[in-house]
Structure 1
Amino acid sequence: MALDLTQSPPENLAELFPVPVKTVCLEIGFGGSEHLIHRARENPEIGFIGCEPFSSGIIKAVTSIEEHGLKNIRLYDDDAGKLLDWLPAASLDMAYQLYPDPWPKKKHWKRRFVNQINLTRIARALKPGCEYRFASDIDTYVDWTLSHCRKHPAFEWADESATDWRTPWHNWPGTRYERKAHREGRVGRYLTFLRAADMKS
């Protein structure tokens, strides 16, 4: 299941999977893997790459993958930046982050994964016109991500109304972090950005 970044990636990421897949998506920081497993089960024609640096999440993912006999998932257990640099340019059909660590203290904001360097990495790996999705219940991180993506020349905000960013994506299974947020009285925000066909000036 594990990706070996010491090997060169295939030009077509579908070759990473032992079963035929039509498209390939990346989940950055899959946590307990609930969303990753749900999507892989409902979309056997899509290949999913899950990135998670914590062993507890990896163990849960491997257990669920084996339990359900899934062949359309590959895993990476280190820094997502390294994975994004390894992937061929314009090779992903979607990338997303769901309820990432918000680093809520202002002095720690520099540790947030969303920054201009990592957005450039995501943009390079995404095919033009494809989506980068971000979900969080922390208003400061939602504002942070919106600001950084709107400033980045490779991304266009796809949401057209408040309903769009207040509503989860189609057939949304939720995550355990989202359920915790709801119990604590917070609501999720769901941002969608498109990889521009041409870099904006």
Structure 2
Amino acid sequence: MTDRTHKSGAPWRNFHGRIHGKTLNRRQQDMLETDLGHFSPGPVSWEENPDRTPLDLAGLFPGKDEIWLEIGFGGGEHMVAMAARYPGIGLIGAEPYVNGVAQLLGKIREAEVQNLAIHAGDVRDLFDVIPDGSIAKAFLNYPDPWPKARHHKRRFVTPQYLEPLMRVLAPGAEFRVATDIEDYVRQTIEEVPAAGFARVDHPMDEAWSDWPSTRYEQKALREGRPPHYLTWQKPVD
């Protein structure tokens, strides 16, 4: 991390992932133009919210029992499945990859779920404006593995991400990590407790009871990489 800032006042955060993939089709472009704004969590960007005023999550999800967060939702299948399974919760997803956002919007139309909000950008900007202690559960499913050793500092399971995640989680909140990369498991087990999380006693080779298998997981299984499911909790005290 560095103390450099942009002219807008935003901190200088290097972003290394993909933002664009193959050209979107007309339907996907239309959904981005017409649907995405409907699922906005509120002013997240520094241009919209230079004072970093916290989001009004109660107003965003009126009457919902809990607010959950999915970090890097990929194509959105897990996010839509959880929103449909748990209509009493509000679920915010962050994903900078435009093609993934378009895929999620298509799945939302098909499933007709509405208890979702989408930040099409860096989750660190979203962390800035999520109120402290407001998230009851967080998901990190098949994150970018950054396999080269010199790139391990780019992984989510590092202090630059884990510290703000810890801040926005409520006491007792659950943090789930699913990955097929052995070295990602190693780094998760090393770094997540160092950020203050406690390990939950759950077999790493056993999926959660409400886990909807994703396309990333199916690809891993086809290629002979077994999934790992790690569960953590923010301490209550």
Q: Tell me if TM exceeds 0.5.
A: yes
d(CA) in 2 for partners of 1:136 and 1:56?
A: 21
Match of residue 159 from structure 1: 201
Instruction: Name the structure 1 match of 2:20.
Output: none
Answer whether contact 1:159 1:191 (CA < 8 A) is retained: no
What is the aligned partner in structure 1 of residue 223 from structure 2? 184
1:171 and 1:90 map into 2 onto residues whose CA distance is: 24
Matched ranges for 1:99-138 at <5 A? 99-138=142-181
8 A contact 1:27–1:50 mirrored in 2: yes
Return the structure number with greater relative CO, CA threshold 8 A, min gap 6. 1
Q: Aligned equivalents of 1:173 and 1:59: distance in 2?
A: 20
- Residue identity opposite 1:159 in structure 2: D
Matched, 1:30 2:73: yes
Q: CA separation in 1, counterparts of 2:219 and 2:63?
A: 36
Residue by residue over 1:10-44, the C-alpha shift from the partner in whole angstroms, topping out at 9 and shown as x without a partner, is 45x23213x53111100000001000010111111
- Offset, 1:61: 1.0
8 Å CA contact 1:14, 1:22 repeated in 2: no
Deviations 1:120-148 (A, max 9, x none): 11110000111111110000001101100
Give the distance between the partners of 1:132 and 1:196, measured in 2 at CA.
11
Superposition misfits of 4+ residues, deviation over 4 angstroms: none
1:63 aligned partner, one-letter code: G
> Distance in 2 between the 1:79 and 1:103 partners?
17
Equivalences for 1:36-185 in 2 at 5 Å? 36-152=79-195, 154-159=196-201, 164-185=203-224
- Are the aligned partners of 2:175 and 2:231 in contact in 1 as well (CA < 8 Å)? yes
Where does structure 1 lack aligned partners over 5 or more consecutive residues?
A: none
Which structure: greater strand fraction? 1
Number of residue-to-residue matches in the alignment: 192
Cα shift at 1:68: 2.4
Partner Cα distance (2:212, 2:101) in 1:
19
Contact 1:14/1:47 (CA < 8 Å) preserved in 2?
A: no
Q: Residue type of the partner of 1:122?
A: L
% identity of equivalent residues: 40
> Is 1:195 aligned to 2:195, yes or no?
no
- Counterpart of 1:15 in structure 2 is 59
Q: Specify the alignment match of 1:2 in structure 2.
A: 40
Question: How much does 1:107 deviate?
Answer: 1.7
Secondary structure of 2:139's match? strand
Distance of 2:76 and 2:217 partners within structure 1: 13
